[in-house]
């Protein structure tokens, strides 16, 4: 018997669509309704078999769902919470997939007046530089980590159900504070995206842009792959995780200043020990 | 009939070893002698069939070679040129694989007193984050670009022979000035390496280093893959391409300052247009 009778996915893109597929494949979910603003895009999701039905009326879409997954850019979270709060069925659980958690929890606290204790903030650490439901696939979360950040106010059973759902989708689930999550993600994900976007613009707005294009090789390709990520999503992530991101960005700028000085001074020893220690750290990763 | 009777590879690592394998596979080269400081490592190259013979006496190794490929870290180029100059056979051609060309050409001009006109600076834009002859493979240069930077002083026939050799190894060969090469590579390769080394150290020297390690995902993996590159090689590249690298690094720092300000000011429009333009540029790459 399916553990979720009706799942409502608000924002049926790469993440929302992949969760729907994974849960359906696992027999964990009987029915999926998609919700969003764009009927054409939702029709694509239906045609692909990702959702059973859809609605552009979000209040209507959540009405008899027992689990609501909000997978929209973070700037849209507050408005979604506002629209659904009075229309959720009693006991319905709400969770999200946003890449920063403190801001989503603030939005939820402010706008989910009736159902705040049923809200469990979550973040699947998975994705590709693609977006849209066409890019969704059921294995996206296999062996990937999902972080949930319940608080003292969160209904324990709701948190367990959200964890259970992600496990059914193939993920490992871990619990931590929203603040810790935001610091960690600022370093491992948000800063690298900023750096990649910055490098692409730095090179392609320059006088040498044509040559840069022509002679870019594998290192550049891998380094900047993430600069193809969705701009709206990343704008919202930067604004939603502002403090943590500015902190780590300042630390990073200090590293660059140090490197610049070492190069300017021809400090061979300093450069070698710097690169050595980075290589040692990086080699420990066995992805 | 083989076009090169005897190739001497000084520094039989990823690049030197791969060229030897590729030329042998193409039937372009009859015999390969490896040279370097470390007899054990050269023995590995021989055991792997990458070289026919080897010597730790570099003067001896080049004595009857008609092509000498110097594939050592750039800081070692000057000393190699000094050691071989009096021992090359008349008409022997010398080329290199260094990632910065102005400094190598300066070294060659200074130390290749008898054979400077036979020196053709070159740079295969290929590689992996691996190093050592065990990582060498004959397809490394297939459809990759090799840039050669001959000058007014360079013997035309020598330049043609070097180009011909790289084509036999599967590469496309292009000619440009050393200065232009160095600016282009500073942007597409040297700066990305610096940024990746910097990110790894920034994260792994911090208080959150354990969590950073644990939750790093695909974006981080790809972004920092190049931070596993050989530290000695990259120290030398930074010092050898100092001016171009400092120029582009300063431009990059301006980009980060701008991004930082936009985030600090919650400038959503600026961030969106910045990310949009980066995505548009990056999406044009079809690697």
Q: Are residues A97 and A34 in the same domain?
A: yes
Residues B124, B137, single domain; the answer is yes
Residues 214-233 of B with CB under 8 A from A: 215-232
Q: Do B192 and A272 touch (CB under 8 A)?
A: no
Chain B residues touching A172 at Cβ < 8 A:
none
Helices (H), chain A: 14-25, 39-47, 58-62, 77-84, 102-111, 156-168, 178-185, 191-204, 209-215, 218-224, 231-240, 242-264, 268-283
Cβ of B195 within 8 Å of Cβ of A223? The answer is: yes
Among A residues 189-208, those touching chain B with beta carbons less than 8 Å apart: 189, 191-204, 206, 208
What's the length of chain A? 287
Residue A287 in this model has a pLDDT that exceeds 60: no
> Which residue among A147, A176, A205 closes a domain?
A176
| The token pair that represents A198 in the structure block | 């910055």
Convert the pLDDT of each residue in A237-281 to its tens digit. 999 999 999 999 999 999 999 999 999 999 999 999 999 999 999
What is the pLDDT at residue B286? 66
Domain end marker among A119, A143, A176 = A176
The answer to whether B187 contacts A198, with C-beta atoms less than 8 Å apart, is: no
Is B71 in the same domain as B164? yes
CB-nearest partner of B235 from A127, A253, A275: A275
Task: Return the H-helix or E-strand segment holding B7.
Answer: strand B4-10
Query: What are B217's two structure tokens?
Result: 């995902």
Strands, sheet with B4-10, edge to edge from the N-terminal-most edge strand: B53-55, B29-35, B4-10, B67-70, B93-96, B119-120
| 3-class DSSP assignment, residue B78 | helix
Best interface-test mutation with A: which of B14, B191, B196, B223 has the largest number of A CBs within 10 A? B223
Domain count, chain A: 2
Mutate to test the interface with B, among A73, A125, A202 (most CBs of B within 10 A): A202
Distance from CA of A10 to the nearest CA of B (A): 22
How far is the C-alpha of A32 from the C-alpha of A21, rounded, in Å?
Answer: 9
Backbone angles phi, psi at A152, to 5 degrees: -55, -30
Per-residue confidence (pLDDT) for residue A91, from 0 to 100: 95
Tokens of A52: 């059973």
Q: Measuring CA to CA, which residue among B220, B164, B231, B201 is closest to residue B29? A: B164
**What stretch of H or E contains B68?**
strand B67-70
A interface test, pick of B235, B236, B249 with most A CB neighbours within 10 Å: B235
Q: Which residues of B touch A197 (CB under 8 A)?
A: 259, 274-275, 278-279
Residues A133 and A44 in one domain: yes
CA dist., res. B140 & res. B190, Å (int): 20
| Cβ separation B187–A180 shorter than 8 A | no
All residues at 6 or more sequence positions from A243 whose CB lies less than 8 Å from its CB, including other chains? A182
| CA-based nearest residue to A167, from A28, A287, A32, A6 | A28
* B257 and B126 within one domain: no
Q: Which of B6, B148, B231 is nearest to A262 (CA)?
A: B231
Does A235 score more than 80 pLDDT?
yes
Q: Do A201 and B268 touch (CB under 8 A)?
A: no
Final residue belonging to a domain, choices B176, B196, B211: B176
**CATH code, domain with A111:** 3.40.50.720
Scanning A233-262 for CB atoms below 8 A from B yields 234-235, 238-239, 242, 245-246, 248-253, 255-256, 259-260, 262
Q: Which of B84, B150, B91, B137 is nearest to B112 (CA)?
A: B84
Contact B216 A127 (CB under 8 A): no
Rg (CA), chain B: 21
**Res A286: pLDDT:** 66
A265 contacts chain B (CB < 8 A): no
Residues A210 and A270 both lie in one domain = yes
- Name the residue range of residue B26's domain: 4-176
pLDDT in tens, chain B (287 residues): 579 999 999 999 999 999 999 999 999 999 999 999 999 999 999 999 999 999 999 999 999 999 999 999 999 999 999 999 999 999 999 999 999 999 999 999 999 999 999 999 999 998 777 889 999 999 999 999 999 999 999 999 999 999 999 999 999 999 999 999 999 999 999 999 999 999 999 998 888 888 888 888 667 888 888 898 899 999 999 999 999 999 999 999 999 999 999 999 999 999 999 999 999 999 887 65
Q: Are residues A189 and A274 in the same domain?
A: yes
A80-89: buried (b, 16+ CB within 10 Å) or exposed (e) per residue?
bbebbbebbe
Q: What is the mean pLDDT of chain A?
A: 94
Neighbours of B68 (CB within 10 A): 28
Q: Shortest CB distance from A249 goes to which of B219, B230, B256? A: B256
Element (H, E) at B24: helix B14-25
Q: Are strands A67-70 and A122-124 parallel, antiparallel or unpaired?
A: unpaired
Q: Do A126 and B263 touch (CB under 8 A)?
A: no
Residue contact A251–B206, C-beta within 8 A: yes
- What distance in Å separates residue A87's CA from the closest CA in chain B? 31
Mean pLDDT of A177-194: 95
Encoded tokens for A101: 């958690």
- Contacts of the segment B52-61: beta carbons below 8 A, 24+ positions apart: B54/B12, B58/B10, B58/B83, B58/B84, B59/B83, B59/B84, B59/B86, B59/B87, B60/B87, B61/B8, B61/B10, B61/B33, B61/B34, B61/B35
Answer yes or no: do A149 and A56 share one domain: yes
Name the phi and psi angles at B56, rounded to 5.
-90, 0
Query: What's the pLDDT score for residue A245?
Result: 97
How many interface pairs between A and B have CB atoms less than 8 angstroms apart? 279
Q: Is B179 in CB contact (< 8 Å) with chain A?
A: no
Burial code (b: 16+ CB inside 10 Å, e: under 16) for A43-79 equals ebbbeeebbbebbeebeebbbebbbbbbbbbbbbbbe
Q: In B, which residues are within 8 Å of A282 by CB distance?
A: 200, 224-225, 227-228
ipTM, interface predicted TM-score of the complex? 0.88
Asked if A238 and B204 come within 8 Å (Cβ–Cβ), the reply is no
Q: What is the pLDDT of residue B218?
A: 67
CA dihedral B72, B74, B76, B82 (to 10 degrees): 100
Residues 78..137 of A with a Cβ closer than 8 Å to B: which? 125-128
Residue B120 forms beta bridges with which residues? B95
CB–CB contact B225 A227 (8 Å): no
Give the closest residue to A58 by CA, choosing from A90, A84, A85, A93: A84
* pLDDT (0 to 100) of residue B213: 81
- Residue B148 CA to residue B120 CA, distance in Å, equals 7
Q: Is B49 exposed, middle or buried (0-12, 13-18, 19+ CB in 10 A)?
A: exposed
How many other CB atoms are there within 10 angstroms of residue A2's CB atom? Answer: 15
Query: Taking 80 as the threshold, does the pLDDT of residue A65 lie above it?
Result: yes
Q: Taking a C-beta distance cutoff of 8 angstroms, is the pair A61, A7 a contact?
A: no
Asked whether residue B71 falls in the same domain as residue B149, the answer is yes
DSSP B128: -
Clarify whether residues A108 and A217 are in a common domain: no
A285 interface with B at CB cutoff 8 Å: yes
Q: Tell me: do A156 and A201 sit in the same domain.
A: no
CATH classification of the domain holding B276: 1.10.3660.10
Contact A45, A71 (CB under 8 A): no
Q: What is the DSSP string of A86-145?
A: GGSPTT-EEEE--S-SHHHHHHHHHH-TTTGGGEE-EEE----S--SGGG--TTTTTT-E
What's residue A206's pLDDT? Answer: 84
Please indicate, yes or no, whether residues A126 and A262 belong to a single structural domain of this protein.
no
Q: Is the dihedral of CA B85, B88, B89, B91 positive or negative?
A: negative
């Amino acid at each position: 018997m399916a553990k979720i009778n009706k799942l409502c996915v608000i924002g049926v893109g790469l993440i929302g669509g992949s969760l729907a597929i994974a849960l359906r494949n696992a027999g964990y979910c009987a029915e999926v309704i998609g919700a969003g603003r764009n009927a054409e895009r939702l029709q694509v999701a239906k045609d692909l078999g990702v959702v059973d039905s859809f609605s552009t009326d979000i209040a209507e879409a959540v009405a008899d769902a027992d689990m609501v997954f909000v997978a929209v850019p973070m700037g849209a979270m507050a408005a979604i919470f506002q629209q659904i709060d009075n229309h959720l069925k009693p006991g319905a659980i709400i969770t999200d997939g946003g890449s920063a958690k403190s801001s989503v929890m603030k939005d939820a606290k402010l706008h989910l007046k009736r159902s705040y204790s049923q809200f469990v903030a979550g973040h699947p650490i998975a994705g590709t530089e693609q977006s849209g439901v066409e890019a969704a696939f059921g294995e996206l979360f296999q062996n990937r980590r999902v972080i949930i950040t319940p608080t003292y106010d969160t209904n324990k059973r709701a948190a367990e159900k959200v964890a259970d759902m992600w496990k059914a989708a193939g993920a490992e689930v871990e619990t931590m504070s929203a603040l810790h999550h935001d610091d960690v993600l600022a370093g491992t994900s948000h800063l690298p995206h900023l750096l990649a976007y910055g490098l692409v613009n730095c090179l392609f707005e320059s006088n040498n842009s044509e040559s840069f294009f022509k002679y870019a090789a594998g290192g550049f390709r891998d380094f900047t792959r993430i600069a193809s990520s969705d701009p709206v999503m990343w704008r919202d992530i930067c604004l939603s995780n502002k403090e943590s991101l500015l902190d780590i960005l300042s630390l990073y700028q200090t590293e660059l200043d140090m490197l610049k000085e070492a190069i300017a001074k021809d400090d061979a020893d300093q450069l070698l020990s710097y690169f050595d220690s980075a290589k040692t750290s990086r080699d420990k990763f066995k992805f």
